Structure 1
Amino acid sequence: MNIEASPQVRKLFDETRRRLVETGTRNRLVHVNRANTRGAVVNIINERSDDVYAILASGKTMRFRPLGKDKHEQGEILLADDTGDDETFDEDRYTDNLLESPLGPDALAKKLLKIARDARTAEEEQGVNILYLALGFVTWFEDEKSDIRREAPLVLLPVELVRNQRTSTYDIRMRGEDLITNLPLQQRWQDDFGLVLPELEVGEDWQPSQYFDQVEEIVDERDRWEIDRDAIQLGFFSFSKLLMYRDLDIDVWPDSALECHKLVKGLLYEGFEGGDDAIFGEEDKLDDVLPPEKIFHVVDADASQARVIEEARSGRNLVVQGPPGTGKSQTIANIIAAAAQEGKTVLFVAEKMAALEVVHDRLVKVGLADICLELHSRSANKRQVLEELKRTLNAGAAVPAIPARPEALQHSRDKLNAIAQALHSPIGDTGETAFGMLGRQARFMGLKAPPPTFAADGLAEMDRATESKAVDALKLYGGALKEAGDPAKHPFRSVTVTQLQPVDQARLRPMLDEAREAVTALDNALNVALDSLGLAEGGWFDLVAPVEELLRALSGLNEGEGNLAKELLQCRDMDRLSQALASGRRWREERDAASAYFIDHAFTVDLAHLRAPLIAGTRSFFARWGSAYRNASRELAGLLTDQLPKSADERVELVDSLLQVSRLRNEWGQEEEFCRTTLGENWRGERTDWEGIEAVQAWAARVSLANADLDAEPDFLVSTAVARERENWADKIKQLAGP
């Protein structure tokens, strides 16, 4: 029985419906100005609606063919020449896979790129396709006296633009969605003229011309109304608001199901009453009210999210607010999963497609794809929905295993709760908790405060009052330190005798005077040494040993080696230089020894190929008669200053000695650039004074090691090294400092 809605409720629904739908001529489904092509539309010419539908409905893709010529006017605006009549028109063009447009190539490419981007954006944000290829247009007038022609599309094919990688442009193909009637036009004609625009009933052999015949029966009754069957245009058309407009018609709902629904009444005019029947009280602990066996969460949920999930499961109406990233989508996924587990059906709606996809992806990832049916997405067409239903029904035949009781979960929860309780329980009579103390420690660590170094045996029993007294004592101690200075540097830091007899006091003064004079002399000697090294005055005992060690390390440098010593003191890789110099020295020794047997040319050739045949001659008498051995011997003889040895072993030794010279040459040759940079003008290649430089390098390495803590400049080190008094300074410092 249909109960008549109250006038106030009907007025509220009527006002809401009027705000939803636009049946005026600003709606492109009610009126399209096909002469204006400046918007996101592409007009198609020289095509027939039946042929275009047949090609696209078969699943084929069609390409666009520009017939015009681009004209560049007014900066970046691209215009195209209209094509005239073609007297030699070939009717085979109707059935090819090309959609002809009067635009030029550049203008068409720009239009298609913009349309493809706008279509993709609209689908990603709204979840619906609004790109259609309109087949056939009807011309109508708002009244008999009007001279303004209105044009509206009749058949709209849902299409999409596909990027053609070969041509770098876009092709068009039909989407797997149902064709629907032009609903806004149908509503407008019904309201203004009482005309009923027929519904689209697409069958297996259906053609747009069949629908045009039905519409033409209506149009023929109106003066000046007509149908252009082969007018085709690609553009954007939206039906979504009109579908909502129809759903909110309270007269089409039986038994007042819409206006009497408790949610509709609560949202629109009655409101919701606040109750005190909340599941969780302000002081209730979540784990006490919600045991693990009652929890059904498929993704992680914290305490606040768990409360929302349980309130929703109990049937309460609530609004959940929170900034991005606070877990609203996980909460919704848990609510849907819990409702499905209880045998309920959930309709999840959102303004943006992205919100739907986030929740759907979460459910799919946890294995709940079978409970989801997408009604508002790219895949929500009739064929795919039916296949999804079939797959889900088949999967439902399997009986899943019943999981065991969550005893392990409850045990882990109780263990974690015990840890949390221990962290927040008072420590003895201190009034403090472990959690609070950890927080204070973290604060001090954040302030980069140094950790205490005193004994902490009594800290566990220390309350705030005792702590305050200890802090006051530490402040007094800090003030005393500030006044007296560092205890480690105090002149009496090692004194343990604090009670002296008069006789001891009388003996102490001369000892202190003597010690002061010795320290003054040591300070003077040390300052002289520091001045010679170019270092700041120190006067502290901790500099005595490093300065003495450095002064002794400076010995052994001749005055003529000063410039080379300065270069070597600046070397950053002493080990590398030492190895290179040692290789050079050994090379020179080996080469000088080999010069007694070989001519100079022998040191420039590679004799590695001679070794194998000569080695064979040491092992076999017959090998020495072979051509390889005799050729190798002949080549070796040409490099010797004397006659070729008769023994094969001696010949091998000669080759090995020359190969050793070559190996050592290659060894220091790999470091030639490094040596040239480090030694400067002292580097002369094979004529380098290897032994002399190696001796200075050993001195520089010793000095650099002793200078590591003092960091004196090379100029001061060299000038001090060649001074006569350097050894006297070292001995004097050692004598004054004592053993």
Structure 2
Amino acid sequence: MPHQTRPASSIGDPNLGRLKAVLDDWRNSLLDMGGRNRLLNFRHTRTSTLEITSPGVGALLAELAKGWEFAPLLPSESEGDRAGIANGRTRPGLVTQKTTQASLDSALYQLRQKSGQMYNDYGLWVLWLGVGMLDWCEAEAHESSAAPLVLVPVELRRDSHRRYRLHLADDQERIHNPALAVKLERLGVDWSPVTGTDVGDLPAVLAAARSVAVGLKGWSVREQVVLGLFASHREAMYQDLQQNEDQILVHPLVRAAALGPDAGLPDDLIGFEPPDLDRIDEVQLPEKTPLVLDADASQRQCIAAVLDNRSFVMSGPPGTGKSQTITNMIAALMHAGRSVLFVSEKAAALDVVRNRLRGVGLGDFVMALHSGDTSKKAVATELARVLTTEARVTGAAAHELERARRLREELSAYAAAMNQPREPLQRTLHDVLGRLVLLEQAGTPNLPLRAENAKAVRGLSAGALLDIAAASQAVSRSWRPAAEGEAFPWRGLVGTDAHQVVSEAADALDALVTAGGHRPFAATQDQPRSVREVQQMVRTLRAGLPSEAVPADNGLPDDVSVQLAQLADLFGMPKPDGADAAFALCELADLAAADHRPPHGWFVAENLRRAYEAAQELRQALEAETAAREAAADVFGEQVLGKAELPGLVARFAGQHRDAGPLLRPVQGGPRVCASAHPHRRLGQVSARSPGSGPGLVHRRCRGDAAGRRPHGTPRSIHPADHARAG
């Protein structure tokens, strides 16, 4: 049984006052009773209003159905000249307050464009002639306002010469200023003599307005005609809500929207659960549902809720079939004998649904009540046409409906079989076929199934398949590193998640930056900018630290500059600005605490200077010794330093054998010394320095053995290359 919406009773309702207050707020939110409302406070603008100064009100309205042209403007033409020219014509044009043709054309263009756009988008007529002007003011107000009395619908057309013409709008009616009636009612002014007068009788309307204004201070009525954009639809909605307040207050949907959980409505009146998508065919048999357009399961949910008299909100992005669903809803309710009012803010949505209904043969059951179809004449004409038209009943035969039922059941059974999980893998046929298509699109080669593997495949379970898939994924993850080798960017990465490792590396880098901020001497030395500089800093610190392990009872503070500054003050030294200076200061502190400290005289300036000089002389002597050793290393061995003849030999060469002559005489002990100094060399290979070059031996070549004997068969003379003869 369809759900019935029960009206709520307002008798003894404790929330009635609150409900009326909410409804009053809704009504007031529709109106703008301030100075921005052009219907209450008319002011000229540059492009949205025109004041028609000629012809007069009576002549203008009498000839408006034929259309009026606008009088052309000449560059040097004044308003009086234009009025004179207009009076000289048999059919004068409309004269406005504009002084140039460009400003007039611009205003007419803007009025025509904006009014046409509002009509096409929202179905609202906003281009009106404001006829008759009431100058009114509130009590104790310093300025008065002007409001038109009557609104006459007009339209701007362009002829073949692209000139604008003002015509009476078709299918639109004159109306009293609705905003003015509401405003004066709030001010306590009885405006009923004006609203009760026929709007077509302009002299009577002006007379009634003057009769009301004569008793009010500062109020007056003028015969003035203005052309502008006036939006009067909100006032009509306001009047509708006010006149039908009692019916609105007892409606359950209004109470639910106004009071929310405090509405006191039954739970099943608003809230309901739509039928499941899988059971929609059971709840609503398709062959018995009067659908005129295609509908899926979700759209049929909405249609079923409508037929059950449920109230709900249907939402969806553009292109999801909302207009199509609304068309099916209206058709289903028409089939159930219901009347439907379809309301939309924009006229385009109404036209879409109306065209869909006409497309399925239901156009005669639709009446448009927006735009130009709302006049009394248009409504009466449409009703007469529909009532005199014979409606033809069309539909499928009984055998066609039965065949459609069988096909639906077969299709539903096929869909259920496709989506039923099957043993042993607990997969549906739909999933398996979709997976095969993906493998084919990926170019996966077909693997032949051998006979020995057929038994294993038949016994494959869902758990075993998951294990195989996990192993395959592991192999696939290892395939690329193995194929790319050293070129793989993550080669050497430990772990299974590269992003986790990168995150850990980022954390380590942040920790390193933090540690760099707490490094020693941060105030005097720049922060290291590369890994190389960090390593150099670590090596410097490590070189100055003691090599043996030190028990760490208390950790060092992050910054030791304070302690080092105090220690430097004790020694009377400057504060250290680097690791080297700090380590030197620490060594000095260790030396001060040692058991064998240096004598006090070491720290006297004169003694320190003499120590530096002695150290310099010692350094020079060591350098001379090192140079002599290197010069004699090619001839002498280390054994020569232990020979007793060495001091005498050195003394003779330094004293009596300073010239070249004595060097040619036999030297006693010389051959023996040479032989013993280097047993693996012959005596003739002894090297010495020339006279004048310092202590040493002259370079000679003695062709004899260690005993001074010459080899057998050799002459006694010395080789000319020795530059001497043997004596």
> Cα–Cα, structure 1 residues 28 and 470, in superposed 2: closer, same or farther, change >3 Å?
closer
> Cα–Cα, structure 1 residues 463 and 185, in superposed 2: closer, same or farther, change >3 Å?
same
- Residues 387-466 of structure 1: pairs in structure 2 closer than 5 A: 387-395=381-389, 397-398=390-391, 400-401=393-394, 403-405=396-398, 406-426=401-421, 429-446=424-441, 448-452=442-446, 454=448
Quote the offset at 1:464 in angstroms: 5.4
The one-letter code of the counterpart of 2:414 is I
Determine whether 1:178 maps to 2:173.
Answer: yes
Q: Please list every run of 5 or more consecutive structure 1 residues that lacks an aligned counterpart in the other structure.
A: 71-80, 484-739
Cα-to-partner distance string for 1:613-668 (whole Å, 9 max, x where unaligned): xxxxxxxxxxxxxxxxxxxxxxxxxxxxxxxxxxxxxxxxxxxxxxxxxxxxxxxx
Aligned-residue identity in percent: 28
- Residues 83-232 of structure 1: pairs in structure 2 closer than 5 A: 83-84=79-80, 88=84, 91=87, 96=92, 98=94, 100=96, 102-143=98-139, 146-167=141-162, 169=164, 171-197=166-192, 198-199=194-195, 202=198, 206-229=200-223, 231-232=224-225
Question: Tell me, what secondary structure is at the counterpart of 2:281?
Answer: helix
Question: Tell me, what secondary structure is at the counterpart of 2:162?
Answer: coil
* C-alpha contact 1:66 1:101 (8 A) present in aligned 2: no
2:379 aligns with one of 385, 407, 421:
385
Quote the offset at 1:327 in angstroms: 1.6
Aligned residue in 1 for 2:352: 358
Determine whether 1:16 maps to 2:6.
Answer: no
* C-alpha contact 2:171 2:374 (8 A) present in aligned 1: no
Q: In structure 2, how many angstroms separate the alpha carbons of the residues matched to 1:210 and 1:335?
A: 49
> Cα–Cα, structure 1 residues 215 and 453, in superposed 2: closer, same or farther, change >3 Å?
same
| Bigger radius of gyration | 2
The one-letter code of the counterpart of 2:317 is P
- Residues 262-661 of structure 1: pairs in structure 2 closer than 5 A: 262-269=252-259, 270-271=262-263, 274-275=267-268, 278=272, 280-282=274-276, 285-395=279-389, 397-398=390-391, 400-401=393-394, 403-405=396-398, 406-426=401-421, 429-446=424-441, 448-452=442-446, 454=448
* C-alpha contact 1:360 1:372 (8 A) present in aligned 2: yes
Quote the offset at 1:23 in angstroms: 2.6
> Cα–Cα, structure 1 residues 283 and 419, in superposed 2: closer, same or farther, change >3 Å?
closer
Q: In structure 2, how many angstroms separate the alpha carbons of the residues matched to 1:93 and 1:216?
A: 33
Q: In structure 2, how many angstroms separate the alpha carbons of the residues matched to 1:147 and 1:426?
A: 83
TM-score scaled to structure 1, two decimals? 0.55
The one-letter code of the counterpart of 1:246 is Q
* C-alpha contact 2:172 2:372 (8 A) present in aligned 1: no
> Cα–Cα, structure 1 residues 191 and 432, in superposed 2: closer, same or farther, change >3 Å?
closer
- Residues 230-269 of structure 1: pairs in structure 2 closer than 5 A: 231-249=224-242, 252-253=243-244, 256-269=246-259
* C-alpha contact 2:83 2:95 (8 A) present in aligned 1: no
Q: Please list every run of 5 or more consecutive structure 2 residues that lacks an aligned counterpart in the other structure.
A: 1-8, 483-727
Cα-to-partner distance string for 1:382-423 (whole Å, 9 max, x where unaligned): 22221111111112x445256433223212212211321232
* C-alpha contact 2:49 2:228 (8 A) present in aligned 1: yes
The one-letter code of the counterpart of 1:25 is G
Q: In structure 2, how many angstroms separate the alpha carbons of the residues matched to 1:93 and 1:186?
A: 40
Q: In structure 2, how many angstroms separate the alpha carbons of the residues matched to 1:15 and 1:278?
A: 29
Q: In structure 1, how many angstroms separate the alpha carbons of the residues matched to 2:277 and 2:141?
A: 73
Higher relative contact order (CA 8 A, sep 6+): 1
Aligned residues: 460
Aligned residue in 2 for 1:55: 63
The one-letter code of the counterpart of 1:233 is V
Question: Tell me, what secondary structure is at the counterpart of 1:315?
Answer: coil
Question: Tell me, what secondary structure is at the counterpart of 1:344?
Answer: coil
Q: In structure 2, how many angstroms separate the alpha carbons of the residues matched to 1:343 and 1:162?
A: 44
Quote the offset at 1:125 in angstroms: 2.8
Quote the offset at 1:195 in angstroms: 2.5
* C-alpha contact 2:71 2:93 (8 A) present in aligned 1: no
* C-alpha contact 1:140 1:151 (8 A) present in aligned 2: yes
* C-alpha contact 1:48 1:94 (8 A) present in aligned 2: no
The one-letter code of the counterpart of 2:35 is T
Aligned residue in 1 for 2:48: 40
